[in-house]
Each structure stands twice: as structure tokens, then as C-alpha cells.
Structure 1
Amino acid sequence: MTGSILTQIQAIYSTLSQSEQKVARYVLEHPEEAAIISIHDLADKAKTSGASVVRFCNSLQVGGFPQLKVRLSLDMAKDERPTYYDFDPNDTTHSIIKKTMSNSIQALQDTAEALDSSMVDQIVDAMAKAPAIYTYGIGASSVVADDIVQKWMRLGKTVFSFQDQHVLAVNIANAPKNSVFIGVSYSGKTKEVVQSLKLANTYGLTTVGISRYGEHEVGSHASCMLHVAHAPEAVFRSAATSSRLAQLLAVDTLFFAYASAQHDETLQHLKDTSQAIQLLREQS
């Protein structure tokens, strides 16, 4: 992740140790100061140790404390302070509209920063070679899984989404060589999705996870990851809507990268499917 370091800190906060969270809270609350003070001063102000600051930097994978200060300075120069708004009973309809729009825009911006272009290319290559693509998600993530089916079906790929995990397991067990399984879980912790990723690995499928940025079980068991924005938890969980938009942006990015790599074939498939739909309309 190479975008806002403050967004990155928010994304991994829940995975940090208690001492690292003290450092994270201070940096999030005082980014300007954290960008200029020494490692020992930051440790004192966060009421922790210098070793905890070092571990915090390692968890962020920024290369060290000097690099963290550089990233913070860049954020301050661009005024990149991620903002998500929660909703309360006193909000007017106008305020709700503004907050919803702001949360959606923030989620999309953060996801664009989190997506790794080289990883997108790797997944595109695997999907292009795959004789079959299987995808699975629960709740709001099932909408994302269905969107994958709708998009790649139009490109002539054999692609399936499942509601029943046992039916999914049967298909994974009989999947042809080089098939791809895509597990969708915003939290990265959905038990059924993690189980399905493990099963797909057992049967030799290329596994892809679509989840929030940070450390979680989906990331541990997927061979390829599409990371999306991690909106902070909220009382009304406004992040539920933002997470779906973030996941759909990741899928759209993957789709257009795939379409670009398979340009001529994509145009022909889209033309053929459009003609088929037009024929149906003419018959009605």
C-alpha cells in the first residue's frame, strides 16, 4: 500500500499489539508532531517503549521510523486525513446524504490507494488461463461474488457463484486444472470463506481473496490478494455500504484490466452478448 499512511494505520489498527496501538493512536491524533519528533520522544508521548515504535513501523512495513516520518510529512503536505462519518438520530436528511457521499468517496479513494497493480496483473493472468472460475461470499459480499459472475460470463468465461457451501465444495473437488477460486470477505474473517479457501488450496486451485487491508485469515490462505479500504467501525456501521462499494471498485478494476489484456476477444464477446440480448428484446 503506497497511499496515505494514516489510512494504512487505521487499516491495521485492530491487528496491532496493545503497545503498538498506543503508538498508532498518538500518530493518528498528532500526525504533524509525530512527523518531526525523535523515536524516543514518540515513545514517551505514547507512553510506551522505543521497541514498540520499531515494532509498529515493522507492522506498517514502511522500512523504519525515518520512512514513517517521511510518509507522515507527505500526508500532511497533501492534507490526506481520511475521514469517515457515523450517523446519529439527529441527522437531517440533507446531512445523511452528505455523510453517505463522503464515506463512499473516501472508501473509493482509499481502495484505489490500497490496490496493488502488479497483484491485479497476476490475478488477471490466472483468470485468463483458468478453464473455470469459482467465487463465494456471504451477506453483502455475495453481491460482489455475483457481480464477478455477471462480468466474466459476458466475456465467455465459465464462472460460478454459490450460496450453498457444500455445493461449492463439490465443485472445487471436481474443478479442472488451473481453475481459480475467489473468496470475498470484507472483514477477512468470515469462517465459511476461509474454509473454502483452505479447501481450494488443498485441491490445487489458484486462490484469490478480496478483503480489507491488514492481516487476517483470508490473507493468510489466499495466494493472491485484492485489498480494499478499511473503514473504521461505526455505531450505525456505515462502513457496510462503503465496504461493498470498495469491493465493487476492486472487481471493476480487475475486470477492466482483464478486458484490456484480452482486448480483441473482449470486444467480440461483448458484441455477441449484446446482440443476444437485443434479439430477446425484439422477440418480446
Structure 2
Amino acid sequence: MKEIFTGAVPAAGTGSKSSGSAPPAPAALAAKVRTLAPSMTRSMQRVAEAVAADPAGCSALTVTGLAELTGTSEATVVRTARLLGYPGYRDLRLALAGLAAQQQSGRAPAVTADIAVDDPIADVVTKLAYDEQQTLADTAAGLDTVQLGAAVAALAGARRVDIYGVGASSLVGMDLAQKLLRIGLIAHAHTDPHLAVTNAVQLRSGDVAVAITHSGSTGDVIEPLRVAFDRGATTVAITGRPDGPVSQYADHVLTTSTARESELRPAAMSSRTSQLLVVDCLFIGVAQRTYDTAAPALAASYEALAHRHTPRGNHR
């Protein structure tokens, strides 16, 4: 039977995959907060937002002090710490102290302001560049390399790869399909939800289905993944919400981060950046594992493009 990843937070000391793993490093703490906060309860969000906004101040507080500061309970503070990957509040305080030290040394810059409607274009460039860099760094810090390696292994040996995504995620899906095709894999990106489901029905063991959904709850993406899962294909979810419904049908979950959403910067913009990083990691991993066939396939595609001549009369 396949293992279903539900995204539930295990209790400390259980035999889950996450038990026994090291708590997130200070540099990854901010990324975990940004990724998980939207799926937390409102009281847990207050705790997460407080520690992200003032790691130095919160690191000096006891569990009771942080509970009072955020208007929550000690139990909520402990649950938040565990959701962020720490065995208890003491470990979270140590990470907060480490993050504060990094910020003071300049290695972990403070969050910049949102883009304003009257910002000069130079400021827009600066803010976007910072947000994009932070999104990539957060995604890299939070990416489970064990899950990534398993997904790479499945793709490298796949008979066929189906990829599902809608909206901005469909563009990322097409990018992944194009990359895999160039190293000799049979890959198809489906943007039509009906065609996605009818193609998923044809999958079986030895095939791979990849769902890309930042929210983790896009029905047009979840349904074909469910069908592929039921048919015995290996399933992969690339999502910003590892506890979302899509994870119920994913053998491997790859979590992406996202920058702060604002009026002029919708989530689709930053989620695309982090999704493309994961796609590039998958592609490089597969190319490494299949190098003997991937290298000649890439060379052939480069040669074909290099020898493609523009028809006479079409020069502009």
C-alpha cells in the first residue's frame, strides 16, 4: 500500500519520518514561518508572526511571556514551536536567538516594505529582486532533500510523466515537461482538467504524475493526481501548503516558499519563482541519474536548434 502524506504534525517522540530529524536551522526558521503561517489557526499565526517580526525580543521570553504577548496560551506556543519543526519551546528560543544574531551581523536582512503604488521604478526593481532572492533562499532552506531525491529517482525511471497545473502553475508544468523531453523522457503537461483526468486513467505503476499547486487545494489539479494515485502511479506534489488536500494523494511532497502577498504582488508571482527552483532541481537530478542517455539527448537537441535556419524572406 502506498504511504499517504497528510501533512499532519506528529507528536514529539512518535515514529514518524520527521521524528529524529534535526530542528530547522535558524536561517530556515523564517522560511518555515512564511510557508506554514497561512495554514495555522489564528492563535498560532499570532505566535508565528511575533517570532518572525522580533526574533531577538521573543528569544528572551519564557513560554508564558510569549503567550501573554500574543494573547494566546502556553499550549498554543508549544504547538506552534512543534509545527515549525522544534521539539519544544526551548529549541525554538535557541533558533530565535541564532536568527537574531544573523540579522544583527547582516547575514539575514530584515524584510523590506511592500511595493507601493507610487514607488519609483528603481524601488520596484530593488524590492522585487529582494523578494525573489528571499523566496528562493526560503525554498532551498525548507526543501526536503530526501523527498526530492525520491522524486528524482521516480522520474528518472518513469515510463511516462504526466504533469498537472492550472493558471501560473501550468506555465511551470510546461517548463518541466519541456526540460524532461529534451533529455529523452516522455512527459506531458496537461492544462485542461478534463484531459488531465482522462490521461491519468491510463497511468499505472512505473509512471509518475506531478501536481503543481501553490494553495494545495486546486480541485482541477488534485483530481487527476488522485486518479493517478489510485491507478498505481508514483505521485509528486509541488505545493506551498504541505498540509493541503493535495498531499493526501502524493507519495512525495516538495514544499515551496513564497514572498509576502500584497496588492501589487499576488501569490502567483512569488509561487512561480519557488516552483521553478524545484523544477530545476528535479531536472538536474534526473539528468545526473540518466547522464548516459540525457547527455546525448541534450546534445542532439542543441544541434538541431543550432542548425535550424530562418526561411528566407522572414528576416526582420
Counterpart amino acid of residue 144 in structure 1:
V
1:232 Cα shift? 2.2
- Which of these residues, 137, 146, 157, is aligned with residue 185 of structure 2? 157
Match of 2:49, as an amino acid? R
Could you state the TM-score of these two structures normalised by the residue count of structure 2? 0.84
Greater shift in the superposed pair: 197-206 or 272-281? 272-281
2:48 alignment partner, one of 24, 29, 52: 24
Q: Residues of 1 paired with 2:112 and 2:279: CA distance? A: 22
Structure 1 unaligned spans of 5+: none
CA drift of 1:153 comes to: 0.2
Q: How many residues align?
A: 284
Q: Deviations over 1:96-145 (max 9, x none)?
A: 11112111111111111121221111011101111000001111111100
1:87 to 80, 97, 115: 115
Stretches of structure 2 that go unaligned for 5 or more consecutive residues are 1-23
Give the superposition deviation at 1:78: 1.5
User: C-alpha offsets along residues 158-206 of structure 1, whole Å, 9 cap, x if unaligned?
Assistant: 1001122221212111124310000111122212111222111111111
Q: How far apart in 1 are the matches of 2:177 and 2:164?
A: 10
- TM score, norm. by length of structure 1: 0.93
In structure 1, which of residues 186, 195, 198 is the aligned counterpart of residue 214 of structure 2? Answer: 186
Shift of 1:241: 2.1
Q: 1:265 matched to which residue of 2?
A: 293
SS of match in other structure, 1:187: coil
Q: Which residue of 2 aligns with 1:60?
A: 84
Aligned mate of 1:248, from 244, 261, 276:
276
State the Cα RMSD in Å.
Answer: 2.0
Q: Shift of the alpha carbon at 1:84?
A: 5.5
| Pairing partner for 2:128 from 100, 120, 144 | 100
Are residue 198 (structure 1) and residue 208 (structure 2) matched? no
Of 161, 174, 186, which residue of structure 2 is paired with 1:146?
174
**What is the distance in 1 between the residues matched to 2:177 and 2:75?**
47
Q: Which position in structure 2 is the counterpart of 1:49?
A: 73
Cα separation, partners in 2 of 1:84 and 1:145, compared to 1, 3 Å: farther
Decide whether the 8 Å contact of 2:164 with 2:211 is kept in 1: yes
Q: Indicate if the aligned counterparts of 2:177 and 2:187 stay in contact, CA closer than 8 A.
A: yes
Richer in helix (by share): 1
Q: How many Å separate the matches in 2 of 1:81 and 1:52?
A: 28
Question: 51-60 or 118-127: which moved more?
Answer: 51-60
Residue of structure 2 in register with 1:69 after alignment: 93
